[in-house]
Structure 1
Amino acid sequence: MPLTSVSRQQLSKYLNDFLNVNQFKDYAPNGLQVEGTDSIKTIVTGVTACQDLIDQAAALNADAILVHHGFFWKNEPEVLTGMKYKRIKSLMTHDMNLFGYHLPLDAHQTLGNNAELAKELGIVDVEVSADIPQNLLWQGKFPQPLTVEQVTALLADKLNRIPLHIGQKNDVISSLAWCTGGAQDYIDHAATLGVDAFISGEVSERTFHCAMEQNIHYFAAGHHATEQFGIKALGEHLAKEFGLQHHFIDIVNPV
């Protein structure tokens, strides 16, 4: 398929509709965050709009960057100084658009972070927990029961990161719940679902006690690692939909 272009306005509207952004109450604005060129042919996707991602996108002459973690989070300083100034200056200097999609990308039913993680891990009988708002907690099963060591190896293989495991080493795991990123506190609700394990990105001191006292395994698989697949899938989707050139850039992040 020959490469074509899409206008900034057309791409923005398509993404906002496709990801149902109006249905979400979020911690940052979803959609176009920094305006650049009107004609978009080349897009770069990445997990977080850090300086390294912006620099690499500029080297590729990208017209737009799409990320899961963008700018303008609640409670962050509003002034454009220091690191924030340098990032936004780089975008504007190279006339690059920045689009950010946070919770809408976590929750999307077909190519969101939770959906893509399930595909990577081979989880079946997937469903969304109705008790958690905005479709953020998912549950399902492995095709066959796995040992703790097998689940750890599976996560390490798919995410390129050895997860932290909390729980008894000699148990077998069949059912599980998950929510990518910094969702460790959903472990309490996961325990009420009766699943064997819960997977998320980060871990807190309290998570250890919550897991042990409620007899549920917890795998902290990395915030970045668990959220690398949704934004990549979104970029691939847009490339096919509009005939755009797409580059996914994975900036190494051990957290």
Structure 2
Amino acid sequence: MHRNELLQTLDQILQPGGFRDYGPNGLQVEGRAQIRRLVTGVTASRALIEAAIAAGADALLVHHGLFWRGQDGRVTGWMKERLRLLLQHDLNVYAYHLPLDAHPELGNNVQLGLQLGLRVEERTGEQNLLCLGEPAGDVFPSAALFAQHVERVLGHRALLVEPSESHRSVRRVAWCTGGGQGYFEAAIAAGADVYLTGEISEPQVHYARECGVAYIACGHHATERYGVQALGRAVADLHGLEHQYIEIDNPA
């Protein structure tokens, strides 16, 4: 298929025009015109670019692209090296950030919920980036047991901050993948027993201890691996492309 046809398909699925984002969504680097093999990954790092080239990719589809608002626009250092590889090998790069987080079927939030066995009952918050739901199976007796479950599924350490006094079972979960610290107060207001995201900042520790809602941070990368895989599979099936997801380890 032609690179512009793939762009049209991705834009039609994700509707990036409806989001206020931190960088450009869509085709970020133009490569060869015809695309037969699509590689997906979380971040357009040099390691992923090199792996995609070794895999014979015509296009690379990522969640975290190359360009961000407020970024130094000079093509030096790491940016020069990434672009040199991409241009030298005529490799297309497509990137979708918030539109991929929020998609109701293929998005990072919904796909993370599927991995963890969480039923999505409501998507709320700014740009529908906060999910609310409950475990599809038995209720977890404690946040600690739920955190252990998260660690097993994601293969990543879960940092748990528990309330100082209230220790309740986990019936209602709120979550937002990646750097979703700012949604914790909305999760508290929505009646969550526990909030799950990728990262934690200093203020959230105190909110958790004082407001009776546990907080679990289990990795920005670890929580955002699943949407791009689902999107890549869907697009590849639709257009008969070869598709491969490449995991680049990231402990953050």
- Name the residue aligned to 2:176: 179
Once residues 193 and 116 of structure 1 are traced to their aligned partners in structure 2, the CA distance between those partners, rounded to angstroms, is 21
- Name the residue aligned to 1:106: 101
- Name the residue aligned to 2:223: 226
Alignment of 1:8-23 (within 5 A): 8-23=3-18
Shift of 1:171: 3.3
Query: Is residue 145 from structure 1 mapped to residue 139 from structure 2 by the alignment?
Result: yes
Once residues 28 and 196 of structure 1 are traced to their aligned partners in structure 2, the CA distance between those partners, rounded to angstroms, is 33
Shift of 1:172: 1.5
Once residues 193 and 133 of structure 1 are traced to their aligned partners in structure 2, the CA distance between those partners, rounded to angstroms, is 14
Once residues 208 and 27 of structure 1 are traced to their aligned partners in structure 2, the CA distance between those partners, rounded to angstroms, is 26
Shift of 1:148: 2.4
Shift of 1:68: 0.3
Alignment of 1:130-169 (within 5 A): 132-143=125-136, 144-146=138-140, 147-168=142-163
Residues 118 and 82 of structure 1: is their aligned pair in 2 closer, same or farther, counting only changes over 3 Å? same
- Name the residue aligned to 2:234: 237
Alignment of 1:15-164 (within 5 A): 15-129=10-124, 132-143=125-136, 144-146=138-140, 147-164=142-159
Runs of 4+ in 1 over 4 A off after TM superposition: none
Backbone CA RMSD of aligned residues: 1.1
Once residues 135 and 56 of structure 2 are traced to their aligned partners in structure 1, the CA distance between those partners, rounded to angstroms, is 42
Aligned partner of residue 173 in structure 1, secondary structure: coil
Once residues 148 and 127 of structure 1 are traced to their aligned partners in structure 2, the CA distance between those partners, rounded to angstroms, is 21
**TM-score computed with the length of structure 2 as normaliser:** 0.96
Matched residue type, 2:72 = P
Query: Is residue 189 from structure 1 mapped to residue 182 from structure 2 by the alignment?
Result: no
Shift of 1:154: 1.5
Shift of 1:214: 1.1
- Name the residue aligned to 1:3: none
CA contact (8 A) 2:110 2:120 kept: no
Query: Is residue 211 from structure 1 mapped to residue 208 from structure 2 by the alignment?
Result: yes
Aligned partner of residue 172 in structure 1, secondary structure: coil
Residues 158 and 142 of structure 1: is their aligned pair in 2 closer, same or farther, counting only changes over 3 Å? same
Aligned partner of residue 105 in structure 2, secondary structure: coil
- Name the residue aligned to 1:201: 198
Once residues 60 and 125 of structure 1 are traced to their aligned partners in structure 2, the CA distance between those partners, rounded to angstroms, is 35
Aligned partner of residue 72 in structure 1, secondary structure: coil
Which structure 1 residue ranges, 5 or more long, are not aligned? 1-5
Aligned partner of residue 25 in structure 1, secondary structure: coil
Once residues 161 and 124 of structure 1 are traced to their aligned partners in structure 2, the CA distance between those partners, rounded to angstroms, is 22
Aligned partner of residue 250 in structure 1, secondary structure: coil
Shift of 1:170: 4.8
Shift of 1:82: 0.6
- Map Cα deviations across residues 219-253 of structure 1 (whole Å, 9 max, x no partner): 00110000000001111111111111111011000
Shift of 1:125: 4.7
Once residues 189 and 105 of structure 1 are traced to their aligned partners in structure 2, the CA distance between those partners, rounded to angstroms, is 21
- Map Cα deviations across residues 177-214 of structure 1 (whole Å, 9 max, x no partner): 11000011210111001110110000111110011111
**TM-score computed with the length of structure 1 as normaliser:** 0.95
Once residues 3 and 120 of structure 2 are traced to their aligned partners in structure 1, the CA distance between those partners, rounded to angstroms, is 38
Q: Percent identity?
A: 42
Once residues 183 and 126 of structure 2 are traced to their aligned partners in structure 1, the CA distance between those partners, rounded to angstroms, is 12
Once residues 18 and 154 of structure 1 are traced to their aligned partners in structure 2, the CA distance between those partners, rounded to angstroms, is 32
